[in-house]
Each structure stands twice: as structure tokens, then as C-alpha cells.
A and B are shown apart, each in its own frame.
Chain A
């Protein structure tokens, strides 16, 4: 099977009456690292397993490099997969574990030997050929699992939470190694994780999945900067985006913390939503706090209620009227408790419909321009 993109068209997966994935359409670009990101039980693993052929597709179509793949056997799909708990064959040595991946191919013995040798070398497993899986550390097992996938030279490379069984330190290292490995392999990689940091660092393209549906797809930047709905807004980012509910009334956004006057451009784009419930989102690191007496209309008085030290930054819980939000500030910045104000940068605000949390997209050109300014 030649290299290419993976295309899911209106794919659904149901188990009995339980819907795991619904009306799912996504094009996974060829040769890139695409991350399927979402909370546990959201359906991302089901999507991956359908691509692998381990789960039958209830409805819709799956294309692997232009070929309809719904009914192709897992072993014939040109897909290699790394499982969360590595899934090594416990009764086989490292060498045999890797060799089993090629057992059903029509390859000569020398060819098989050479490929295994190369894979073990790339993953720094020389000297471990005769070890049994139980004699290896977590990191080594993970590398054997990678070697097993690598040796297949498959055009599609799937990873299901491959790092979540490693301890934190090893995980950061393994992440970098994985990216390097992919840059060398250049296959179409699909990576499932619930960890947004992993998604942001590994992914060149990210698809956020929740409740069996695709919530948003895009580059990590796009998803971080322009969340398509309040779920994505609150799921991505740590601490997550502040979401303030209120209503658009006249030229201002009224909420429990006060009123935010809005500029003409924003207002004209949102005119249709006058008088409706709305949610305004702002990332904690975009909350600018100041004691300078401002002249701008775009300021709200706030008070610091709680401070959390995160090391490189402090997370302030600030109160406005009857509501709170979080602000992330550099650790060395000190604030007087008095006369503190939130200086609002309109370009950092994100607007969502109150009823369903869907982003009210301002014309991209406008928002982008403002971002640059």
C-alpha cells in the first residue's frame, strides 16, 4: 500500500445501542503527525482502532491512501500500531517479538534479519535481542514496541497513548525521540492522547474528539488560539481558558463581573446576537493586570483572592463583582491588592454562543489583523 492520507467520511461506531463515534469526518494529512486529542472515553481510541481494522466500522467510509479500506483485514492495511501497554508477546524474546511482525510477509530470511537489525539499532536496542519482555524496563519495552512497528515499514503508523505508561521524566524524552523517529520515517502518523501537552508538542495537526464527535481540527496554534467551541477552549490550555457567561446588550457585554465595552468592529460582527446569551473566553496568560490609572474604557476593577505558585509563573484567582477568573503572571511580578485593574485587550477575547458553546467566529481577516497589531 502506498503512502498517503487517511480519510474518514461520516464514520460511525456503535456498540449495541451505545454510540461511540458519530458522523465523523476527518482527513489525516499524508506524511504528517496528526494527534487525536480528547478526554478518556471520548471516542478517539475507537477512531484509531477503526483505522487499524481492529473495530468494524458501523457506518461511513474509511480510505487509506485513496483505497476504500472498510473491509480490509488489519494485517493487510499497511498499518503498524503501537499500543498503550506495548502489547509485546510475553513468551518471545525481543528479537522474536520484532520478527513476528514480519512473519506473514513474503520476505527472505536475510531481508528480515537486516530489517530487524536496523530497527533495533535505530531504537538503541542492540544487545537486548535475547531478553524477554519481563526483563526490560518500561522505556525499553516501549522501544521494542516501536521497533516492532518500525520494522514493518508500513505507510501508516498508529500510536495509542504510547507514552502514558512511562514516568514523567522519561515521557518528555520519549516524546522528542518519537518526533525524531517520525522525521526519519516520514510516514502518516496518527497519535492518540488525552494529554494536551503531548498533542501540542508532537502534533503537526490536531483533531479534538469529544463525545464521539470531532470538535475541531487544525494546527496546534489554531486550536489553541481559536477554539471552535467552549469544550475545546476549556480542554486545551493549563490552566484552561476563562469562560465568562453573560449577554450582549447594546455596545457592551454584561456579566456577573461587570460590563465589558466592545469596539465597533466586534459589535458589527456580532450584531445578530444582540440580547442573546453569550460566553466570552480569555486565556489566563492574556489577562493583563495593572495598577496604572488607565484612561481606557476597556478596564475592569479586580481583586486578587488567591495566589498559586507554579514555579515559573503564578496563577492568580481574581474576583470581579460576583465572579472569578484566573490570571497567569510571571512569578516575579508583584501586585498590590489595591486598585488592581484588568486591562482588556479586545483581540484576545473569544466569543461563544451561550446556547451551545459554538464559537462566534469573527471574520478571520479582522481577528488575524488585530492579532498582529
Chain B
């Protein structure tokens, strides 16, 4: 009985938290399905749109440059993801498999780079990109993000969990380091790589500040930057259209999480535990 009642209390508590987290999402979807008239006249907390309308979505999809923004966001997120996974994998393999002077220092240097606040490197990065003439190109949004300490840390932990003898065995079988990496290491740490890929894809997809800084031509905007345009069209905000765009923007990351939820949870559970 006692466990049952504590369990119930937990369920009630967690349910409340989930409702709190879901509410903004529901609100967003609800607003996206209302007409501008309804939005200004109805009680804003009345979530049920009456009547339903798809006109906001139609507006976003057919009259704005939504396709172009989606493409920009996708290209950047995909490139950042591929780049980050690749650099993290190679660095993690190097940090685990090769002995060289300064290895520890270099590794901890990489990990501690996670704690450098973005605002402190924002200006130098911007100036460098400006000098390279990369502003308003995909490079500007991609290159500064293709390596980070988090990815190296995660994959290094995963590679370390592979028994040393397995990798030794591959060397005895005459595998080159490249083959060991591709034939043995990658299949064994796939869950961690998937988790890292999804996290960096979602992060890049949602990134607002950096693309806003380096992209000032409308044709190069990413979705989060484009969303902000709806907010300040001459003082009045088109809430319906903005929420429709936000709903569409939020869909891919949501799908990603749903598909890979198991991998992500597992990876973070195990990254601290060797075994």
C-alpha cells in the first residue's frame, strides 16, 4: 500500500511537470490553427480553435520563403552534424589509441572548451569569418560548430568501454587503424554516435543567435531567424502565421528525439560508467 501511494504521488508530480512542459507546445499548435480574429478576440488560454483553419499554414508554406529557410537550416544542421561526429570520432580514437606527449593536457583542453561561454568567443569568431569573407555563406554557420569538446568527451568514453583486447585482436588480424575504426569501433559505438548526431542536429536546427549574427541577407536566414521576422512586422505580430511556422520548425527535432530516444538516454547513462 505504501509503495502504491508514493508511486501515485510521483505520478501526479511528474504528470504536472509534463503538463507544464507540454503547455507551450499545445498553445503554439492551438494558435497556429486559429484565425487572426479568433486570436485577438478569444481568451488566449482557450486552447480549442473554433473553427479550425489551415490558412496560417498555407500562408507560411506558400507565401513566405519557408522552403528556402528550411533548406538553409537543413544544410547547415546536416553539415554541422556530419562534421561534428566525424571530428569527434577521429579525436576520440586518437585520444584513446595513440600515446603521445601532452595527450592528457590536450584532451582536457578540448573538454574544458565546453565551459568557455559563447559570448566570449562570439566577436573573434565573427571577425575571423568577416575577414575570410564568409559572412552570408553556409560556411559561416557551419565551420565554427564542427568540433566541440562534448562530442569528443562522449565518444572517447564510448571507445574506452570497448575492451582493449578487442582492438589489440584487430591489430593482430592485420587491420590498419582506419579499418579498426570503421570495422570495429564504429559498429560498437553506434548508439553513442547516433545520440551525438541527433543532439548536434537538433541543436544546430534550433540555433538562433549565431545564424542571426552571420546571416543578414534574407535568403540565407535559417528557420529560427526567419521566425523572428513574424514578430515584428511593423509593430503588429502575426501570431497565427508565426505559430504555424514555429510548429513546422519544431517538427523535425521532435521526430528526431522520438526516433532515437532510447539511444540518447542510454548514451548519457553510460557515458560516466566504464563497462
Contact = CB atoms under 8 A, between A and B. Distances in A.
Given A87-B165, A87-B166, A104 B174 contact: yes
A105 B169 CA distance: 15
Given A87-B163, A89-B184, A90-B188, A54 B168 contact: yes
Interface in A76-121: 76, 79-81, 83-91, 100-101, 103-105
Contact of B172 (A52, A103, A105): A52
Contacts of A54: 168, 171-172
A103 to B, nearest CB: 7
A83 B165 contact: yes
B187 interface: yes
Contacts of A85: 163, 165
Contacts of B173: 75, 100-101, 103-104
A155 to B, nearest CB: 14
B175 interface: yes
Nearest to B162: A90
A16 B95 CA distance: 18
Contacts of B169: 81, 83, 87, 89, 148
A88 B170 CA distance: 10
A52 B173 CA distance: 11
A74 interface: yes
Contact of B188 (A53, A86, A91): A91
Interface in B143-187: 163, 165-166, 168-175, 179, 183-184, 187
Contacts of A74: 171-172, 174
Contact of A89 (B166, B172, B174, B179): B166
Given A89-B184, A90-B188, A91-B187, A73 B174 contact: yes
B161 to A, nearest CB: 11
B165 A104 contact: no
A168 to B, nearest CB: 23
Nearest to A80: B172
A52 B174 CA distance: 12
Contacts of B175: 75, 103-104
Pick the most buried of B168, B172, B187: most chain A CB atoms within 10 A of its CB: B172
Contacts of B172: 52-54, 74-75, 79-81
Contacts of A87: 163, 165-166, 168-169
A259 to B, nearest CB: 54
Contacts of B165: 83-87
A74 B172 CA distance: 5
Contacts of A53: 171-172
A171 B168 CA distance: 24
Nearest to B183: A100
Interface string A38-64: 000000000001001110000000000
Contacts of A79: 172
A93 to B, nearest CB: 13
A298 to B, nearest CB: 53
B164 to A, nearest CB: 8
A74 B168 CA distance: 9
A74 B163 CA distance: 18
Contacts of B179: 104
Contacts of B183: 100
Given A89-B184, A91-B187, A91-B188, A76 B166 contact: no
Nearest to B190: A91
Contacts of B188: 90-91
Contacts of B163: 85, 87
Contacts of B168: 49, 52, 54, 81, 83, 87
Contacts of B170: 89, 100
A145 B24 CA distance: 56
27 contacts: A49-B168, A54-B168, A54-B171, A54-B172, A73-B171, A75-B172, A75-B173, A75-B175, A76-B174, A79-B172, A81-B168, A81-B169, A83-B168, A83-B169, A85-B163, A85-B165, A87-B169, A89-B169, A89-B170, A90-B166, A91-B187, A100-B170, A100-B173, A100-B183, A103-B174, A103-B175, A104-B174
Given A87-B168, A104-B174, 8 more contacts: A52-B168, A52-B172, A54-B168, A73-B174, A75-B172, A75-B174, A83-B168, A100-B173
| For the complex of A and B, 4 pairs with smallest distance between CB atoms | A75-B174, A87-B165, A104-B174, A83-B165
